[in-house]
């Protein structure tokens, strides 16, 4: 298999897994990060925060301190310099933000999609109601709505 034979998603997933496996959860990346103080997570153990980031990336859920760190990243790159294992913590934080957004928005989006009839369903419904085309249905709606409207000059 040549490098160009794999999809972007497959390559991204492989890269993420490689970083997750390489991370020793030492917490140095959290210790040097300038975002920790503004995020209000200085009391949390750095090892717990990075472990939480890995949990978020793997399953979309993790402790609040890790969520705050992921959301407050300033992209300084200090974490990258601090890692002796060749892991890019800034990239892992980005993947954590993606996982959090997915977990937060996935179910409501599926619900909206499920409640919306497809084009085929709408066409079938129109045909069932007399085979009217969209144009005819719109004209019929205008005719039905027009008598209901009153003008401001009309006496009541």
The pLDDT tens digits of the residues spanning 129-152 come to 665 466 777 776 777 766 555 555
Structure-token match 């085929």, residue found: 120
The 3 state secondary structure assigned to 94-145 is HHHHHHHHHHHHHHHHHHHHHHCCCHHHHHHHHHHCCCCCHHHHHHHHHHHH
At 33-63, the pLDDT tens digits run: 999 999 999 999 999 999 999 999 999 889 9
Return the structure tokens found at 86: 């060749």
* Token pair listed for 36: 């920790």
Give the domains, in start order, of the chain with CATH numbers. 3-115 (1.10.1060), 119-148 (no CATH)
């Amino acid at each position: 298999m040549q490098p160009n034979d794999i999809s972007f998603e497959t390559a991204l997933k492989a890269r993420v897994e490689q970083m997750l496996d390489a991370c020793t959860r030492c917490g140095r990346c959290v210790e040097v990060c300038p975002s920790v103080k503004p995020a209000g997570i200085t009391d949390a153990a750095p090892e717990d925060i990075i472990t939480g980031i890995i949990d978020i990336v793997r399953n979309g859920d993790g402790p609040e301190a890790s969520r705050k760190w992921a959301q407050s990243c300033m992209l300084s790159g200090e974490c990258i310099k601090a890692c002796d294992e060749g892991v890019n913590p800034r990239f892992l934080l980005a993947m954590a933000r993606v996982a959090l957004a997915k977990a937060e928005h996935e179910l409501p989006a599926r619900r909206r999609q499920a409640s919306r009839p497809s084009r085929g369903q709408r066409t079938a419904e129109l045909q069932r109601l007399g085979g009217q085309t969209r144009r005819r249905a719109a004209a019929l709606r205008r005719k039905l709505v027009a008598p209901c409207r009153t003008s401001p000059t009309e006496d009541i």
